[in-house]
Structure 1
Amino acid sequence: MSIPDVEAIERAGLSAWPGIEEKWDGSWVRRASGGYTKRANSTQCFDPDDFEDADLRIISASTWMIIRKTKPVFRITPLAAPEVSATLDESGWQTIDLSHIYAMDLGDHEADAEAHFLSVTDPKFVAAQQQLQSYDDTTLTGFTNLMAVLKVPATGVVLTRDGQAVASGLMAIADGIVITGNVITDAQRRRQGLAKSMMNSGLAWAKKQGAKFAALNVQGDNPAAIALYSELGYTHQYDYHYRIPGAPK
């Protein structure tokens, strides 16, 4: 089977990592989620040919986000019209967070005996994420609010050792693609294969749920994560980045 194309992966990502509020403007989608992650608080274009009135639409999208107390952010993927990037350039917007999408056919994976599969709103999953991610109260609220609007099949994976959470991640399935997010390992127990065990466990769960493919995003400055995902069988598909307003002069 061929790995899904850019649009299929991106549309699956919309469902697997939703915005609490969404508004479509042609093929541009605005999302706001109280500031928790740029992905769920950004505008992106899904059609390279949809660039008419780009300057006015950028202003409109930015205003929409500001009204919702969210910083204006654009997510630029290969689906974005070049004119959108050119307009942002002219307005002095910065480019940040070069990232990659990795994907693969979903083969067979073995779950760890100490992997726990929980509802994404289960207090045990939320607590594991808070502990491992070192979330403050504001960030935790943003995370739990986002998990509450997730509508696709999903699970929170918590890997334990001696009863303690040592690795965790989110697996959400949309359009046959399991999208992985929020992967984290105990900072004191890295390089012990725990992230790999957690990932294999989540992918085994997804296969049983009928997923055919797996995809995830990883920041370009995270070589350890890139090495892990490559070892699991993921391959690089495409790049994306974010644009934010430049500093006032």
Structure 2
Amino acid sequence: MPRRAPRPGDRVIVRRHLPDTPGHLTDVIGHVVSLGPLVVRPQSVGGLPSDAEAVTIPDELIQVCKVLPPRRVRNSDIRAVETATAAAFPGIEHRWCGQWLLRAGDGITERSNSAAPLGRSAGLSEVPLREIEAFYAEHDLPVRILIPDRIGNPARTVCAGPAWCTGPDIVVMTRPLHDLPVPDLPDGVTHRVDEQPDEEWLALYHFRGRPLPEHALNLLRTRIDGHMGFGRLLDATGRTLAITRGTITESGDGRTWLGYSAVEVVADHRRRGLGTQLGTAMLHWGAQNGAEMAYLQVLAANTAGIGLYDKLGFVEHHRHRYAELDPRVTPGR
């Protein structure tokens, strides 16, 4: 089987020639930051991602580059991040069914409208499919299930049949909130975080490139079991240039997390580094509000987004995806 080319986020080993010592080789093991040229961030002990300084390796110095299996994080850590995320996107109604958290919201975004296997033994228990189907029938919503790596294995098996449609992989990235980069805002640009978004903030926000209806936008600002902040960058005239939603929630294991989502930059100011600067400012806001760790989610196909978040010190933690039941299938089949 041919060896595939590395992609951003992959864990790799690179055997390279040393530029000033011909004939000598050395290995770099770490995670790919970007390609063309290859940039690798050396891993920490045990193969875990690190925040070490990245290494740029010119193509002519590479002898071998091999993709390695990702370092397996603990199931409890996957559950922790997913629990913090669920607290940030609770939906309009949510209830527990055994090891599963069932959420119903606007019917649009998956995070607020899916059943999540968040109980400690969910990865070893049968999926309560009849109860899940009944819950979503009660709310006139499609049956949608969150399938995180490993803790969602029973659900992955259930959703493997032809009655289910599984969406693309979503990369969950994390970073600790220490040793943060220093904010370096352009001249005349300021950062502000409000408790609630105004009309200008809401008008800028899109979900996967599309504007949300008013009821979905209202759900973004509904109170959660935690703390919310609506961040933005403004120019000297007070015009909003970029926005994001920050949440501070707990993961059930004693840790507090910053969730970072809903990033938008106005069209005439893109590709100027504002997304990175807004992210840096929000990381500091999260740390100031008691968060120890941060997480975000990005589609696996969005290599540009992954590259941006890597510059902020985020690394891949795990992946998840959503499966939706064909509405033509009889519930409780």
Secondary structure of the residue aligned to 2:168 is: strand
Which residue of 2 is the match for residue 127 of structure 1?
Answer: 200
Q: After the TM superposition, which residues 125-164 of structure 1 pair with which residues of structure 2 at under 5 Å, given as runs?
A: 126-133=199-206, 136=211, 139-161=213-235, 162-164=237-239
Where does residue 53 of structure 2 map in the other structure?
Answer: none
Q: How does 1:208-247 map to 2 (within 5 A)?
A: 208-246=288-326
In structure 1, C-alpha distance between the alignment counterparts of 2:124 and 2:311, rounded to whole Å: 37
Alignment of 1:12-51 (within 5 A): 12-46=84-118, 47-51=122-126
TM-score scaled by length of structure 2: 0.66
Q: Distance in 1 between matches of 2:242 and 2:138?
A: 37
On the 8 A contact 1:45/1:80 being kept in 2, the answer is yes
How far the C-alpha of 1:244 sits from its partner, in A, is: 1.0
Judging changes above 3 Å, is the alpha-carbon distance between structure 1 residues 246 and 71 closer, same or farther for their aligned structure 2 residues? closer
**Counterpart in 2 of 1:71?**
142
Q: Is the 8 A contact 1:132 1:166 kept in 2?
A: no
**What letter is aligned with 1:50?**
S
Q: Does 1:179 align with 2:259?
A: yes
Q: Aligned in 2, Cα 1:17/1:28: closer, same or farther, shift over 3 Å?
A: same
Indicate whether 1:167 and 2:242 are aligned: yes
Q: Does 1:58 align with 2:129?
A: yes
Higher deviation after alignment, 138-147 or 18-27: 138-147
d(CA) in 2 for partners of 1:92 and 1:42? Answer: 17
| Cα distance, 1:212 vs structure 2 | 1.2
- For residues 81 and 222 of structure 1, the distance between their equivalents in structure 2, rounded to whole angstroms, comes to 23
Correspondent of 1:115 among 184, 187, 191: 191
The code of the aligned residue for 2:316 comes to H
Aligned equivalents of 2:150, 2:200: Cα separation in 1: 36
The alpha-carbon deviation at position 239 of structure 1 amounts to 0.7
Q: Distance in 2 between matches of 1:36 and 1:243?
A: 14
Highest relative contact order (Cα 8 Å, sep 6+), 1 or 2? 1
**Structure 2 stretches lacking a partner, 5+ long:** 1-47, 49-72, 251-255
Match 1:106 to one of 177, 180, 191: 177
Deviation at 1:140, TM superposition (A): 2.9
Structure 1 portions without partners, runs of 5+: none
CA deviation after TM superposition for structure 1 residue 139, in Å: 2.2
SS of alignment partner, residue 62 of structure 1: helix
Secondary structure in 1 matching 2:137: helix
Cα separation, 2, equivalents of 1:231 and 1:117: 22
* Match 2:268 to one of 188, 193, 206: 188
Q: Does 1:203 align with 2:319?
A: no
Report which stretch shifted further, 127-136 or 156-165: 127-136
Once the two structures are TM-superposed, the CA of residue 70 in structure 1 deviates from its matched residue by 2.1
Can you list the C-alpha shifts for 1:95-133, whole angstroms capped at 9, x where unaligned?
1131011001112244445111101x332xx53132242
User: d(CA) in 2 for partners of 1:169 and 1:21?
Assistant: 24
Q: Whose helix proportion is higher, 1 or 2?
A: 1
Q: Tell me if the contact between 1:106 and 1:203 (Cα under 8 Å) persists in the aligned partners.
A: yes
Q: Which has the larger radius of gyration?
A: 2
Give 1:135 deviation, angstroms.
6.2
Closer, same or farther in 2 for the Cα pair 1:158/1:190, shift >3 Å? same
CA distance in 2, matches of 1:96, 1:74: 10
What is the CA distance between 1:17 and its match in structure 2? Answer: 2.1
* Alpha-carbon contact 2:87-2:225 (below 8 Å) kept: yes
Distance 2:159 2:130 in 1: 10
Identity of aligned residues (%): 20
| Deviation (angstroms), 1:36 | 3.8
1:34·1:68 contact (CA, 8 Å) conserved in 2?
A: no
**How many angstroms apart in 1 are the aligned matches of 2:135 and 2:123?**
22
Amino acid of the structure 2 residue aligned with 1:234: F
TM-score, structure 1 as length reference: 0.87
